[in-house]
A and B are shown apart, each in its own frame.
Chain A
Amino acid sequence: MTLQGKTAIVTGGSRGIGSSIAKYLAAKGAQVVVNYSGSQQKAEQVVADIEAAGGKAIAVKASVSNHDEVTALIKETVDTFGRVDILVNNAGITRDNLLMRMKDSEWDEVIDTNLKGVFMTMKAVTRQMMKQRSGRIINISSIVGASGNPGQVNYVAAKAGVIGMTKTVALELASRGITVNAIAPGFIETEMTEQLPEDIKSAMLSQIPLSHFGKPEDIAAAVAFLASDDASYITGQTLHVNGGMYM
Protein backbone atom coordinates (compact mmCIF):
# COMPACT_ATOMS: atom_id res chain seq x y z
CA MET A 1 0.00 0.00 0.00
CA THR A 2 1.47 3.30 -1.06
CA LEU A 3 0.44 6.94 -1.11
CA GLN A 4 3.30 7.92 -3.41
CA GLY A 5 2.67 11.23 -5.18
CA LYS A 6 -0.49 12.01 -3.23
CA THR A 7 -0.98 15.23 -1.30
CA ALA A 8 -2.62 15.13 2.13
CA ILE A 9 -3.84 17.82 4.49
CA VAL A 10 -4.00 16.86 8.16
CA THR A 11 -5.85 19.38 10.31
CA GLY A 12 -4.60 19.62 13.86
CA GLY A 13 -1.46 17.88 12.64
CA SER A 14 0.96 19.28 15.17
CA ARG A 15 0.06 17.13 18.14
CA GLY A 16 -1.46 13.89 19.38
CA ILE A 17 -3.16 11.63 16.85
CA GLY A 18 -2.79 14.31 14.14
CA SER A 19 1.02 14.38 14.25
CA SER A 20 1.08 10.60 14.09
CA ILE A 21 -1.24 10.62 11.06
CA ALA A 22 0.92 13.25 9.33
CA LYS A 23 4.12 11.25 9.85
CA TYR A 24 2.49 7.96 8.88
CA LEU A 25 1.06 9.31 5.62
CA ALA A 26 4.44 10.85 4.81
CA ALA A 27 6.15 7.52 5.48
CA LYS A 28 3.77 5.98 2.92
CA GLY A 29 4.95 8.53 0.35
CA ALA A 30 2.40 11.35 0.64
CA GLN A 31 3.32 15.03 0.65
CA VAL A 32 1.78 16.35 3.83
CA VAL A 33 0.38 19.71 4.86
CA VAL A 34 0.59 19.86 8.63
CA ASN A 35 -2.14 22.27 9.68
CA TYR A 36 -2.03 23.83 13.13
CA SER A 37 -3.77 26.70 14.88
CA GLY A 38 -1.68 27.41 17.98
CA SER A 39 1.29 25.07 18.18
CA GLN A 40 3.61 26.45 15.52
CA GLN A 41 6.78 25.00 17.02
CA LYS A 42 5.27 21.54 17.31
CA ALA A 43 3.99 21.71 13.74
CA GLU A 44 7.44 22.69 12.51
CA GLN A 45 8.91 19.82 14.49
CA VAL A 46 6.53 17.39 12.73
CA VAL A 47 7.63 18.84 9.38
CA ALA A 48 11.28 18.49 10.41
CA ASP A 49 10.73 14.87 11.47
CA ILE A 50 9.07 14.09 8.13
CA GLU A 51 11.87 15.76 6.17
CA ALA A 52 14.52 13.97 8.25
CA ALA A 53 12.88 10.69 7.24
CA GLY A 54 13.11 11.70 3.57
CA GLY A 55 9.53 12.94 3.16
CA LYS A 56 7.98 16.21 2.05
CA ALA A 57 5.84 18.43 4.28
CA ILE A 58 4.92 22.02 5.05
CA ALA A 59 3.24 23.57 8.10
CA VAL A 60 0.29 25.89 7.51
CA LYS A 61 -1.51 27.85 10.21
CA ALA A 62 -5.30 27.98 9.99
CA SER A 63 -8.15 27.84 12.45
CA VAL A 64 -10.55 25.29 10.93
CA SER A 65 -13.64 27.24 11.94
CA ASN A 66 -12.46 30.40 10.15
CA HIS A 67 -13.64 30.61 6.55
CA ASP A 68 -10.83 32.81 5.23
CA GLU A 69 -8.10 30.82 6.95
CA VAL A 70 -9.49 27.51 5.65
CA THR A 71 -9.70 28.91 2.12
CA ALA A 72 -6.08 30.04 2.42
CA LEU A 73 -5.06 26.60 3.72
CA ILE A 74 -6.48 24.88 0.62
CA LYS A 75 -4.98 27.51 -1.67
CA GLU A 76 -1.52 27.19 -0.16
CA THR A 77 -1.72 23.40 -0.50
CA VAL A 78 -2.66 23.62 -4.20
CA ASP A 79 -0.07 26.34 -4.84
CA THR A 80 2.66 24.22 -3.24
CA PHE A 81 1.78 20.67 -4.31
CA GLY A 82 -0.64 21.20 -7.22
CA ARG A 83 -3.53 19.15 -5.85
CA VAL A 84 -5.28 17.78 -2.76
CA ASP A 85 -5.87 14.04 -2.73
CA ILE A 86 -6.50 13.44 0.94
CA LEU A 87 -8.13 15.59 3.62
CA VAL A 88 -7.92 14.31 7.18
CA ASN A 89 -10.17 16.24 9.53
CA ASN A 90 -8.47 15.60 12.81
CA ALA A 91 -8.45 18.98 14.58
CA GLY A 92 -10.42 18.81 17.80
CA ILE A 93 -10.65 20.20 21.29
CA THR A 94 -12.40 19.23 24.53
CA ARG A 95 -14.16 21.41 27.08
CA ASP A 96 -15.63 18.73 29.33
CA ASN A 97 -18.38 19.44 31.82
CA LEU A 98 -21.63 17.95 33.02
CA LEU A 99 -24.67 19.21 31.16
CA MET A 100 -25.86 21.18 34.16
CA ARG A 101 -22.50 22.88 34.60
CA MET A 102 -21.60 23.41 30.97
CA LYS A 103 -21.21 27.01 29.91
CA ASP A 104 -22.58 28.17 26.58
CA SER A 105 -19.03 29.14 25.64
CA GLU A 106 -17.80 25.58 26.28
CA TRP A 107 -20.53 24.24 24.03
CA ASP A 108 -19.86 26.80 21.31
CA GLU A 109 -16.09 26.36 21.23
CA VAL A 110 -16.27 22.59 20.83
CA ILE A 111 -19.04 22.72 18.20
CA ASP A 112 -17.14 25.43 16.32
CA THR A 113 -13.89 23.50 16.04
CA ASN A 114 -15.03 19.86 16.05
CA LEU A 115 -18.21 20.13 13.97
CA LYS A 116 -18.26 23.38 12.01
CA GLY A 117 -14.54 23.02 11.35
CA VAL A 118 -15.15 19.73 9.53
CA PHE A 119 -17.92 21.32 7.49
CA MET A 120 -15.69 24.26 6.57
CA THR A 121 -12.71 22.21 5.40
CA MET A 122 -14.88 19.74 3.47
CA LYS A 123 -16.66 22.59 1.73
CA ALA A 124 -13.41 24.33 0.87
CA VAL A 125 -11.63 21.23 -0.46
CA THR A 126 -14.54 19.94 -2.53
CA ARG A 127 -14.00 22.37 -5.40
CA GLN A 128 -10.48 21.09 -5.93
CA MET A 129 -11.41 17.42 -5.52
CA MET A 130 -14.39 17.75 -7.91
CA LYS A 131 -12.09 19.18 -10.57
CA GLN A 132 -9.69 16.30 -10.02
CA ARG A 133 -12.56 13.81 -10.13
CA SER A 134 -10.97 12.12 -7.15
CA GLY A 135 -10.36 12.65 -3.47
CA ARG A 136 -10.41 11.05 -0.05
CA ILE A 137 -11.93 12.75 2.96
CA ILE A 138 -11.35 11.07 6.32
CA ASN A 139 -13.04 12.53 9.36
CA ILE A 140 -11.83 11.65 12.82
CA SER A 141 -14.91 11.05 14.95
CA SER A 142 -14.82 9.21 18.27
CA ILE A 143 -16.16 6.14 20.01
CA VAL A 144 -18.19 8.49 22.21
CA GLY A 145 -20.00 9.81 19.12
CA ALA A 146 -21.60 6.38 18.94
CA SER A 147 -21.76 5.38 22.61
CA GLY A 148 -22.29 8.69 24.44
CA ASN A 149 -20.17 9.76 27.40
CA PRO A 150 -21.09 11.65 30.56
CA GLY A 151 -19.35 15.01 30.86
CA GLN A 152 -18.93 15.46 27.13
CA VAL A 153 -22.30 16.52 25.78
CA ASN A 154 -20.63 19.08 23.51
CA TYR A 155 -17.88 16.76 22.26
CA VAL A 156 -20.30 13.85 21.74
CA ALA A 157 -22.75 16.05 19.83
CA ALA A 158 -19.94 17.17 17.54
CA LYS A 159 -18.49 13.68 17.02
CA ALA A 160 -21.92 12.14 16.34
CA GLY A 161 -22.57 15.04 13.98
CA VAL A 162 -19.36 14.24 12.12
CA ILE A 163 -20.64 10.72 11.42
CA GLY A 164 -23.88 12.14 10.00
CA MET A 165 -21.98 14.65 7.86
CA THR A 166 -19.68 11.89 6.64
CA LYS A 167 -22.64 9.87 5.31
CA THR A 168 -24.28 12.92 3.73
CA VAL A 169 -21.20 14.25 1.99
CA ALA A 170 -20.32 10.71 0.86
CA LEU A 171 -23.68 10.59 -0.90
CA GLU A 172 -23.28 14.05 -2.41
CA LEU A 173 -19.79 13.47 -3.80
CA ALA A 174 -19.83 9.78 -4.72
CA SER A 175 -20.54 10.52 -8.38
CA ARG A 176 -17.35 12.56 -8.58
CA GLY A 177 -15.01 9.85 -7.37
CA ILE A 178 -14.64 11.32 -3.89
CA THR A 179 -15.00 9.01 -0.90
CA VAL A 180 -15.81 10.24 2.59
CA ASN A 181 -15.32 8.06 5.64
CA ALA A 182 -14.99 8.47 9.39
CA ILE A 183 -12.74 6.81 11.91
CA ALA A 184 -13.93 6.47 15.48
CA PRO A 185 -10.95 6.00 17.81
CA GLY A 186 -11.49 4.41 21.19
CA PHE A 187 -9.14 5.16 24.06
CA ILE A 188 -5.89 6.31 22.47
CA GLU A 189 -2.89 7.44 24.53
CA THR A 190 -2.39 11.15 23.75
CA GLU A 191 -2.01 14.45 25.56
CA MET A 192 -5.78 14.81 25.45
CA THR A 193 -6.41 11.53 27.27
CA GLU A 194 -3.42 11.88 29.63
CA GLN A 195 -5.39 14.56 31.46
CA LEU A 196 -8.00 12.03 32.58
CA PRO A 197 -7.88 10.91 36.24
CA GLU A 198 -6.29 7.50 36.97
CA ASP A 199 -9.51 5.91 38.26
CA ILE A 200 -11.29 6.76 35.01
CA LYS A 201 -8.38 5.34 33.02
CA SER A 202 -8.38 2.03 34.89
CA ALA A 203 -12.17 1.81 34.61
CA MET A 204 -11.82 2.26 30.86
CA LEU A 205 -9.08 -0.33 30.61
CA SER A 206 -11.39 -2.91 32.17
CA GLN A 207 -13.85 -2.29 29.32
CA ILE A 208 -11.34 -2.92 26.53
CA PRO A 209 -11.45 -6.54 25.31
CA LEU A 210 -7.95 -6.25 23.83
CA SER A 211 -6.91 -5.01 27.32
CA HIS A 212 -4.61 -2.19 26.34
CA PHE A 213 -5.02 1.41 25.22
CA GLY A 214 -4.59 2.23 21.56
CA LYS A 215 -1.64 4.11 20.12
CA PRO A 216 -1.87 7.07 17.74
CA GLU A 217 -0.28 4.83 15.08
CA ASP A 218 -3.31 2.51 15.27
CA ILE A 219 -5.44 5.41 14.04
CA ALA A 220 -2.83 6.57 11.53
CA ALA A 221 -2.73 3.11 9.94
CA ALA A 222 -6.52 3.14 9.52
CA VAL A 223 -6.33 6.61 7.94
CA ALA A 224 -3.62 5.45 5.53
CA PHE A 225 -5.76 2.48 4.51
CA LEU A 226 -8.86 4.60 3.85
CA ALA A 227 -6.70 7.09 1.93
CA SER A 228 -5.18 4.39 -0.27
CA ASP A 229 -6.38 2.96 -3.57
CA ASP A 230 -7.12 -0.28 -1.70
CA ALA A 231 -10.13 1.44 -0.08
CA SER A 232 -11.64 2.88 -3.26
CA TYR A 233 -14.96 1.02 -2.84
CA ILE A 234 -15.49 2.16 0.75
CA THR A 235 -17.49 5.33 1.36
CA GLY A 236 -19.85 6.71 4.00
CA GLN A 237 -18.52 4.30 6.61
CA THR A 238 -17.35 4.71 10.17
CA LEU A 239 -14.38 2.52 11.04
CA HIS A 240 -14.13 1.85 14.77
CA VAL A 241 -10.57 1.46 16.04
CA ASN A 242 -11.06 0.75 19.70
CA GLY A 243 -9.76 -2.65 20.80
CA GLY A 244 -13.31 -3.98 20.88
CA MET A 245 -14.47 -1.42 23.46
CA TYR A 246 -17.61 -0.63 21.46
CA MET A 247 -19.14 -2.77 18.71
Chain B
Amino acid sequence: MSTVLERVTKVIVDRLGVDESEVKMEASFREDLGADSLDVVELVMELEDEFDMEISDEEAENISTVGSAVTYIESKLGE
Protein backbone atom coordinates (compact mmCIF):
# COMPACT_ATOMS: atom_id res chain seq x y z
CA MET B 1 0.00 0.00 0.00
CA SER B 2 1.46 3.35 -1.06
CA THR B 3 1.73 6.16 1.45
CA VAL B 4 -0.38 9.30 1.18
CA LEU B 5 2.70 11.22 0.02
CA GLU B 6 3.40 8.70 -2.73
CA ARG B 7 -0.16 8.83 -4.00
CA VAL B 8 -0.29 12.64 -3.82
CA THR B 9 3.02 12.82 -5.65
CA LYS B 10 1.74 10.61 -8.45
CA VAL B 11 -1.36 12.79 -8.93
CA ILE B 12 0.82 15.93 -9.03
CA VAL B 13 3.33 14.46 -11.48
CA ASP B 14 0.52 13.29 -13.79
CA ARG B 15 -1.44 16.52 -13.61
CA LEU B 16 1.31 19.14 -13.68
CA GLY B 17 3.86 17.24 -15.72
CA VAL B 18 6.67 17.96 -13.25
CA ASP B 19 9.52 15.66 -12.27
CA GLU B 20 9.00 13.56 -9.16
CA SER B 21 12.13 15.07 -7.60
CA GLU B 22 10.49 18.53 -7.64
CA VAL B 23 7.57 17.37 -5.53
CA LYS B 24 8.90 18.27 -2.09
CA MET B 25 6.73 18.80 0.99
CA GLU B 26 7.41 22.57 1.05
CA ALA B 27 6.84 23.03 -2.71
CA SER B 28 4.05 25.46 -3.58
CA PHE B 29 1.83 24.35 -6.47
CA ARG B 30 1.71 27.80 -7.98
CA GLU B 31 5.15 29.20 -7.16
CA ASP B 32 7.34 26.10 -7.45
CA LEU B 33 5.42 23.64 -9.62
CA GLY B 34 4.13 25.99 -12.30
CA ALA B 35 0.43 25.49 -11.65
CA ASP B 36 -2.10 28.19 -12.45
CA SER B 37 -5.20 28.71 -10.33
CA LEU B 38 -7.28 26.37 -12.49
CA ASP B 39 -4.59 23.66 -12.24
CA VAL B 40 -4.88 23.84 -8.44
CA VAL B 41 -8.66 23.43 -8.66
CA GLU B 42 -8.19 20.39 -10.89
CA LEU B 43 -5.52 18.98 -8.63
CA VAL B 44 -7.89 19.14 -5.67
CA MET B 45 -10.58 17.46 -7.80
CA GLU B 46 -8.21 14.62 -8.61
CA LEU B 47 -7.12 14.26 -5.00
CA GLU B 48 -10.81 13.95 -4.11
CA ASP B 49 -11.13 11.10 -6.61
CA GLU B 50 -7.85 9.44 -5.60
CA PHE B 51 -8.73 9.41 -1.90
CA ASP B 52 -12.50 9.14 -2.35
CA MET B 53 -13.23 12.15 -0.16
CA GLU B 54 -14.89 15.51 -0.49
CA ILE B 55 -12.80 18.61 0.03
CA SER B 56 -14.92 21.72 0.58
CA ASP B 57 -14.12 24.98 -1.23
CA GLU B 58 -13.05 26.55 2.08
CA GLU B 59 -10.69 23.69 2.86
CA ALA B 60 -9.37 23.64 -0.69
CA GLU B 61 -8.26 27.25 -0.36
CA ASN B 62 -5.79 26.21 2.33
CA ILE B 63 -4.21 23.56 0.14
CA SER B 64 -1.40 25.41 -1.60
CA THR B 65 1.65 23.23 -1.03
CA VAL B 66 2.40 19.53 -1.32
CA GLY B 67 2.77 19.37 2.46
CA SER B 68 -0.58 21.06 3.14
CA ALA B 69 -2.29 18.57 0.83
CA VAL B 70 -0.64 15.57 2.49
CA THR B 71 -1.34 16.86 6.01
CA TYR B 72 -4.95 17.60 5.17
CA ILE B 73 -5.58 14.21 3.57
CA GLU B 74 -3.86 12.33 6.39
CA SER B 75 -5.99 14.15 8.97
CA LYS B 76 -9.18 13.39 7.00
CA LEU B 77 -8.23 9.72 6.63
CA GLY B 78 -7.46 9.54 10.33
CA GLU B 79 -10.93 10.73 11.33
B38 in contact with A172 (CB, 8 Å): yes
B45 on the interface (CB 8 Å rule)?
A: yes
Task: Answer yes or no: A98 CB below 8 A from chain B CBs.
Answer: no
For B6, list chain A residues within 8 Å (CB).
Answer: none
CB distance from B52 to the nearest CB of A (A): 15
Contacts of A127 in B (CB 8 A): 45
Chain A interface helix/strand/loop/mixed: helix
Main secondary structure of the interface of B (DSSP, over half): helix
Whether, in the assembled complex, B42 has its beta carbon less than 8 Å from a beta carbon of chain A, the answer is: yes
Q: Which residues 118-136 of A have a CB within 8 angstroms of B?
A: 127, 130-131
Looking at the assembled complex, report how far the CB atom of B15 sits from the nearest CB atom of chain A, in whole angstroms. 11
The CA-CA distance from A234 to B14 in the complex, in Å, is: 29
Does A175 interact with chain B (Cβ within 8 Å)?
Answer: yes
Instruction: List A contacts of B42 (CB < 8 A).
Output: 130
Which B residues are in CB contact (< 8 Å) with A172?
Answer: 38
Let me know if B38 and A176 touch, CB within 8 A.
Answer: yes
Mask: chain A, 167-206; 1 = CB below 8 Å from B; 0 = not: 0000011011000000000000000000000000000000
User: Which residues of the partner chain B approach A131 to less than 8 Å between Cβ atoms?
Assistant: 45
Q: How many A residues face the partner with a CB closer than 8 A?
A: 7
What is the total number of residues of chain B having a CB less than 8 Å from a CB of chain A?
A: 3
Return the CB mask of B19-37 against A: 1 if under 8 Å, else 0. Answer: 0000000000000000000
A173: nearest residue on chain B (CB-CB)? B38
Q: How far is the CB of A172 from chain B (nearest CB, A)?
A: 7
Task: Enumerate chain B residues within 8 angstroms of A173, measured Cβ to Cβ.
Answer: 38
CB-CB under 8 A from A176, the residues of chain B are 38
Which residues of chain B in 44-65 are interfacial with respect to chain A, using CB atoms and an 8 Å cutoff?
Answer: 45
B44 to chain A, nearest CB (A): 11
Say how far A70's CB is from chain B's closest CB, in angstroms.
Answer: 15
A175: chain B residues within 8 A (beta carbon): 38
For B45, give the chain A residue with the smallest CB separation: A127
- Bound state CA distance, A152 and B21, in angstroms? 59
Taking the nearest CB of chain B, how far is it from the CB of A50, in angstroms?
A: 32
Which residues of chain A are near B38, meaning CB under 8 Å?
172-173, 175-176
Given contacts A127-B45, A175-B38, A176-B38, 4 further A-B contacts (CB under 8 A): A130-B42, A131-B45, A172-B38, A173-B38
Q: Which residues of B contact A (CB under 8 A)?
A: 38, 42, 45
8 contacts between A and B (CB under 8 A): A127-B45, A130-B42, A130-B45, A131-B45, A172-B38, A173-B38, A175-B38, A176-B38
